[in-house]
Amino acid sequence: MVQWDVPMKPAELAERRLVEAILEGTFPVNSFLPPERELAEMLGITRPTLREALQRLSRDGWLEIHHGKTTRVRDYWREGNLTILGAIARYQKKVYPSFVVNLLQIRLLMAPAYTRQAFEAALPEVTEFLQTLQHLPDEAGVYVENDLELHLHFTRLSGNPIFTLIFNGFGDLYRSMAQLYFANPAARAHSTSFYKNLLEAALANEPARAEEITRQVMLDSIHLWEAAEKNASTSSDENM
């Protein structure tokens, strides 16, 4: 069956452009948006469509709207929420270069916890899944999808759905950064060892050991990511 791309509605397109303008600094934090008529003309939309977009951005925490007053851009780092975090992940190149490292540091805090909880709550399912990761083809794309599925699977088996909601918010970003990460053979070898050690911990019924293994691997992944970014930047400079 043919799948057609559904074009964005004007309000959705306006919403995206405004988020980009906020993240790029066109409309900085704590600044005020232009009057409705001027902003609608800038975006090429009608004022009712603009109001729809503004209301959605206000609901998500980007803007502060008071009737009869100018609309303020909120300090999204201080006043934001998980909805904003997901949007920032999609536009992370427009924010600042260390965003991915900061995100990996959060994973360093979360992954050991949901791994241990998954081991304690659903060891047979954990063991069965880890067995499927023991002989992966040495291809970046294969590791990208399987590593993403491992973390999602463990968040679901942990019994805490908040882990899954947080992780789902970064699915697209995870795939894009994992493509660069797993392009490095050392990263693939490191994850191969990770999956093997986790399976050994599962077969021995050692949740605490699995937690420590995960913590160390998440820490190592930050260093490997920084090395991958540095190599990519060096290659880009050499090709200019």
Summarised one tens digit per residue, pLDDT across range 57-104 is 998 889 999 888 889 999 988 887 777 777 776 665 555 557 778 888
pTM over 0.85: no
β-strand partners of 64: 72
How far apart are the C-alpha atoms of 140 and 185, rounded to whole Å?
8
How far apart are the C-alpha atoms of 41 and 45, rounded to whole Å?
6
Query: Which residue has tokens 């995870």?
Result: 174
How far apart are the C-alpha atoms of 178 and 71, rounded to whole Å?
38
Confidence band for 158, pLDDT divided at 50, 70 and 90: very high
In terms of Cα–Cα distance, which of 222, 218, 214 is closest to 198?
214
Q: Residue 195 carries which side chain, given as an amino acid letter?
A: Y
Compute φ and ψ for 153, nearest 5 degrees.
-60, -45
- For the chain, where do the domains classified as CATH 1.20.120.530 start and end? 96-238
Residue 143 has a pLDDT of 95
Residue 197 has a pLDDT of 98
How far apart are the C-alpha atoms of 40 and 47, rounded to whole Å?
6
**CATH class of this structure's domain 96-238:** mainly alpha
Q: What is the pLDDT of residues 169-182, one digit of tens each?
A: 777 778 878 888 89
Query: Which residue has tokens 């729809």?
Result: 52
- For the chain, where do the domains classified as CATH 1.10.10.10 start and end? 10-87
Compute φ and ψ for 2, nearest 5 degrees.
-75, 135
Q: What is the pLDDT of residues 105-120, one digit of tens each?
A: 888 999 999 999 999 9
Q: Residue 225 carries which side chain, given as an amino acid letter?
A: W
pLDDT above 90 covers a percentage of the chain that reads: 58
pLDDT averaged over the chain?
Answer: 87
Give the fold, CATH level 3, of 10-87: Arc Repressor Mutant, subunit A (1.10.10)
